[in-house]
Amino acid sequence: DDHTSIPDLTSGLLNADSFVNLGSPGTPATTGRTSNRQLPSQMTNNNFVSVANAIAGRASSDVLKGYTAYDSFSQVVPSKVDYYIIEYGYNDYQLGRDLSDQKWTQNPATYFGALTSGISTLTDASPKAKFVVCGPGYALFFNAKGAYIGDGNIVSKGVGTLSQYAQMAQNAARDKNALFLDCYFGHEFNLDQYTTDDYLMKDGVHFTNRGRITVSHALARLIDKDRGVTPQDPDGVLDIGNFH
């Protein structure tokens, strides 16, 4: 790790005493459709619901096996956590996971249900902790030949567009009274169709180093304001042109 990840950068900006990065590349918030009624003790897949249950001591930390987060897991002391920063959504979109379930709102196979039920589980484990939900970021999509096919407002995997997942993340944050970092609609930083060359790598999805720095400043600003600390950055939309 070259310390340029968003968790690394954000913890530096916040002068955090410690942080534990349990992020696991490629994992969703949601459980699979067939495993949404599993007891925590039966959980084996790595997703937000299972990781939240592992932190709460209800599921095995083996759900993280095979990921670097497995080695960090023992550092998590739920009673001492100040903030949980939750960033999922792109993989739920890619996997075509349902956005929500009107009949069972906490259905962990849905994006809204996974976020809200996972936060409920963590609240039980860490009653003093606060929560930050980060929605998925704006993205561009290309076909197998590298031709542009559309952005996150247009391209769907059959359930909804990426922008709908971003909106659902905000709905979940509101439902749980959590802080929300908008990474899609340009309310926090100026990522849009005109700035993707600065923000996004060639794949149109992952942030560049400058993109990660800008997002980290927006995230640190949100948390500092919540802590009653004067943020390093002023209010308003952060411009990537100011970060290097």
The 3-class SS string of 24-69 reads: CCCCCCCCCHHHCCCCHHHCCCCCHHHHHHHHCCCCCHHHHCCCCH
pLDDT at position 3 is 78
Give buried/exposed letters for 87-108 (b at 16+ CB in 10 A, else e).
bbbbbbbeeebbbbbeeeeebb
Residue-averaged pLDDT of the chain? 97
The secondary structure of 101-154 as a DSSP string is -SS-TT-TTSHHHHHHHHHHHHHHH-TT-EEEEEPPPP-EEE-TTS-EEEETTT
Residue pLDDT, tens place only, 141-172: 999 999 999 999 999 999 999 999 999 999 99
Contacts of 124 by beta carbon, 8 Å cutoff, 6+ apart: 56
User: What distance in Å separates the CA atoms of residue 218 and residue 135, rounded to the nearest whole number?
Assistant: 13
Q: Which amino acid is at 114?
A: A
Q: Which amino acid is at 240?
A: I
Q: Give the number of other Cβ atoms within 10 Å of residue 134's Cβ.
A: 25
Number of structural domains (the chain) is 1
CATH number at residue 161: 3.40.50
Percent of the chain topping pLDDT 70: 99
User: Residue 182 is part of which domain span?
Assistant: 7-137+152-190
Residue pLDDT, tens place only, 44-100: 999 999 999 999 999 999 999 999 999 999 999 999 999 999 999 999 999 999 999
Q: Does 1 score more than 60 pLDDT? A: no
At 23, the pLDDT band (50, 70, 90 cuts) reads very high
At 206, the pLDDT band (50, 70, 90 cuts) reads very high
Distance from CA of residue 205 to its chain's centroid? Answer: 14
At 9, the pLDDT band (50, 70, 90 cuts) reads very high
Has residue 196 been placed in a domain? no
Q: Are 50 and 32 in contact (CB under 8 A)?
A: no
Contacts of 212 by beta carbon, 8 Å cutoff, 6+ apart: 4, 5, 6, 9
Has residue 226 been placed in a domain? no
Beta-strand relationship, 130-134 and 148-151 = unpaired
pLDDT at position 2 is 63
Has residue 198 been placed in a domain? no
Has residue 147 been placed in a domain? no
Has residue 228 been placed in a domain? no
Q: Are 200 and 208 in contact (CB under 8 A)?
A: yes
Q: Are 134 and 87 in contact (CB under 8 A)?
A: yes
Has residue 179 been placed in a domain? yes
Identify the DSSP state of 75: G
Has residue 237 been placed in a domain? no
User: What distance in Å separates the CA atoms of residue 66 and residue 69, rounded to the nearest whole number?
Assistant: 8
Residue 85's H or E segment, with its range, is strand 83-87
Has residue 233 been placed in a domain? no
What SS3 class is residue 70? helix
Q: Are 118 and 86 in contact (CB under 8 A)?
A: yes
pTM greater than 0.85: yes
